[in-house]
Amino acid sequence: MLDKVAPYIYKYVPIDGGFSTYKEYLTAETAESLSSPNSIAIDGSIYVNNTSRLVRFISGAKDSFSLKSPDEYVINAFAISPESDTIAILDKDRERILLFSKSGEFLKQIVSSEIKRATSLLLDSNGKLLLQGEKGLYRLSE
């Protein structure tokens, strides 16, 4: 669970009959690396949009992960898929979605005027992009 105010990440462990009380996920050193967290995604690692920079944590420690983009971008939303090796970044200002590998390598961008209306995005289990807008869920043709 992401606490945007603290800011901090808490972990709940499955136990018989439900979940444990929360446990602190981050180490003291890595907690300082969250200044303004916006959203979170989990695939074994934890990814956090932190002031328009994607940060990855593994076992509570900050990873040296970074996205190698060919140019500047804004992260309005992002998505990962545990089943694929893809990270999708929604950049509404430039009407595009940037796709990266989970090692941070730039794969490609998808540009469409429809992207500026998206409020969030998802990657399905096959790595296909879905955009959520005010009027519903849309599959984006590449």
Q: What is the pLDDT of residues 52-87, one digit of tens each?
A: 789 898 888 888 899 999 999 999 999 998 888 899
d(CA 120, CA 14): 28
Residue 78 burial (10 A CB sphere; 0-12, 13-18, 19+): buried
Query: Does domain 67-142 sit in CATH 3.40.50.300?
Result: no
Residue 67: alpha-carbon gap to chain centroid: 12
Quote the tokens at residue 140.
């984006």
Mean pLDDT score, 10-15: 86
The owner of tokens 């994607």 is: 54
Average pLDDT value for the chain: 86
Instruction: Grade residue 142 by pLDDT with cuts at 50, 70 and 90.
Output: low
Pinpoint the residues of the chain covered by CATH 2.40.10.360: 67-142
User: Given a cut of 90, is residue 8 above it in pLDDT?
Assistant: no
Task: Please give the full DSSP string across 16-45, using - where no structure is assigned.
Answer: TTEEPPPEE-S-HHHHTT-SSEEEEEESSS
Which tens digits make up the pLDDT trace of 34-58? 777 888 888 888 899 887 789 898 8
